[in-house]
Amino acid sequence: EAQVTQNPRYLITVTGKKLTVTCSQNMNHEYMSWYRQDPGLGLRQIYYSMNVEVTDKGDVPEGYKVSRKEKRNFPLILESPSPNQTSLYFCASRTGTDTSEAFFGQGTRLTVV
Protein backbone atom coordinates (compact mmCIF):
# COMPACT_ATOMS: atom_id res chain seq x y z
CA GLU A 1 0.00 0.00 0.00
CA ALA A 2 1.34 3.41 -1.01
CA GLN A 3 1.85 5.48 2.09
CA VAL A 4 3.76 8.12 3.99
CA THR A 5 4.53 7.10 7.56
CA GLN A 6 5.28 9.60 10.28
CA ASN A 7 6.33 8.87 13.85
CA PRO A 8 5.47 9.64 16.53
CA ARG A 9 1.81 10.66 16.17
CA TYR A 10 1.83 12.56 19.46
CA LEU A 11 4.71 13.97 21.45
CA ILE A 12 4.96 16.12 24.54
CA THR A 13 8.45 17.36 25.31
CA VAL A 14 10.26 20.00 27.30
CA THR A 15 11.97 23.12 26.01
CA GLY A 16 15.48 22.43 24.80
CA LYS A 17 15.30 18.65 24.53
CA LYS A 18 16.33 17.61 21.03
CA LEU A 19 13.83 15.52 19.12
CA THR A 20 13.40 13.94 15.71
CA VAL A 21 10.17 13.25 13.85
CA THR A 22 10.64 10.54 11.26
CA CYS A 23 9.01 10.39 7.83
CA SER A 24 9.23 7.54 5.37
CA GLN A 25 7.52 6.99 2.00
CA ASN A 26 7.35 3.81 -0.09
CA MET A 27 6.43 5.37 -3.46
CA ASN A 28 9.93 6.25 -4.69
CA HIS A 29 8.96 9.93 -4.72
CA GLU A 30 11.68 12.50 -5.36
CA TYR A 31 10.02 15.46 -3.66
CA MET A 32 9.36 15.54 0.08
CA SER A 33 8.26 18.38 2.36
CA TRP A 34 7.55 19.18 5.95
CA TYR A 35 4.66 21.46 6.90
CA ARG A 36 3.30 22.83 10.11
CA GLN A 37 -0.36 23.61 10.61
CA ASP A 38 -1.48 26.23 13.12
CA PRO A 39 -5.06 27.39 13.80
CA GLY A 40 -6.32 29.89 11.25
CA LEU A 41 -3.30 29.45 9.00
CA GLY A 42 -2.72 27.27 5.97
CA LEU A 43 -0.13 24.55 5.91
CA ARG A 44 3.22 26.34 5.93
CA GLN A 45 6.27 24.71 4.43
CA ILE A 46 9.22 24.28 6.77
CA TYR A 47 11.75 22.51 4.53
CA TYR A 48 11.64 20.58 1.31
CA SER A 49 13.85 18.17 -0.58
CA MET A 50 13.90 17.67 -4.33
CA ASN A 51 16.00 14.50 -4.12
CA VAL A 52 18.66 12.73 -2.09
CA GLU A 53 21.12 15.18 -0.52
CA VAL A 54 19.15 18.15 -1.92
CA THR A 55 17.27 20.13 0.72
CA ASP A 56 16.19 23.75 1.00
CA LYS A 57 14.34 26.09 3.34
CA GLY A 58 10.65 26.67 3.04
CA ASP A 59 8.74 29.59 4.52
CA VAL A 60 9.28 28.89 8.23
CA PRO A 61 12.61 27.05 8.64
CA GLU A 62 13.89 28.69 11.83
CA GLY A 63 14.51 26.17 14.60
CA TYR A 64 14.34 23.13 12.32
CA LYS A 65 16.79 20.93 10.44
CA VAL A 66 16.26 18.14 7.94
CA SER A 67 18.33 15.55 6.13
CA ARG A 68 17.77 13.39 3.05
CA LYS A 69 20.37 10.64 3.03
CA GLU A 70 18.03 8.13 1.39
CA LYS A 71 15.18 8.71 -1.02
CA ARG A 72 12.53 7.22 1.25
CA ASN A 73 13.37 9.05 4.50
CA PHE A 74 13.12 12.71 5.40
CA PRO A 75 13.43 13.28 9.16
CA LEU A 76 12.62 16.60 10.82
CA ILE A 77 14.96 17.57 13.63
CA LEU A 78 14.29 20.11 16.35
CA GLU A 79 17.67 20.72 18.01
CA SER A 80 16.31 22.86 20.84
CA PRO A 81 12.51 22.91 20.79
CA SER A 82 10.67 25.95 22.09
CA PRO A 83 6.98 26.44 22.98
CA ASN A 84 6.34 28.33 19.72
CA GLN A 85 7.06 25.08 17.88
CA THR A 86 3.97 23.51 19.43
CA SER A 87 2.01 22.60 16.33
CA LEU A 88 0.64 19.87 14.09
CA TYR A 89 3.30 18.67 11.65
CA PHE A 90 2.79 16.92 8.32
CA CYS A 91 5.27 15.23 6.06
CA ALA A 92 4.31 14.94 2.40
CA SER A 93 5.79 13.41 -0.72
CA ARG A 94 5.21 13.83 -4.47
CA THR A 95 6.71 12.39 -7.60
CA GLY A 96 8.37 15.67 -8.43
CA THR A 97 6.52 16.24 -11.68
CA ASP A 98 4.99 19.67 -11.56
CA THR A 99 1.34 18.75 -11.25
CA SER A 100 1.54 15.62 -9.15
CA GLU A 101 -0.65 15.37 -6.05
CA ALA A 102 0.89 15.29 -2.59
CA PHE A 103 0.59 12.28 -0.29
CA PHE A 104 0.55 13.16 3.40
CA GLY A 105 1.61 11.34 6.52
CA GLN A 106 -0.76 10.94 9.46
CA GLY A 107 0.53 14.03 11.23
CA THR A 108 2.50 14.55 14.43
CA ARG A 109 0.98 16.67 17.16
CA LEU A 110 3.87 18.18 19.09
CA THR A 111 3.56 20.03 22.37
CA VAL A 112 6.62 21.79 23.82
CA VAL A 113 6.26 22.84 27.44
Task: State how beta strands 31-37 and 54-57 pair.
Answer: unpaired
According to the binding rule CB under 8 A, does residue 47 interact with other proteins? no
The nearer residue to other proteins, 81 or 93, going by C-beta atoms, is: 93
According to the binding rule CB under 8 A, does residue 61 interact with other proteins? no
Contacts of residue 95, defined as CB under 8 A and 6 or more positions apart, other chains included, come to 27, 29, 30, 31
Residues 21-40 that bind other proteins (CB under 8 A): 31, 33, 35, 40
Report cis status (omega within 30 of 0) of the bond before 75. no
The nearer residue to other proteins, 8 or 96, going by C-beta atoms, is: 96
Contacts of residue 42, defined as CB under 8 A and 6 or more positions apart, other chains included, come to none
Q: Given the rule CB under 8 A, which residues bind other proteins? A: 4, 31, 33, 35, 40-45, 48, 50, 56, 58, 90, 94, 96, 98-107
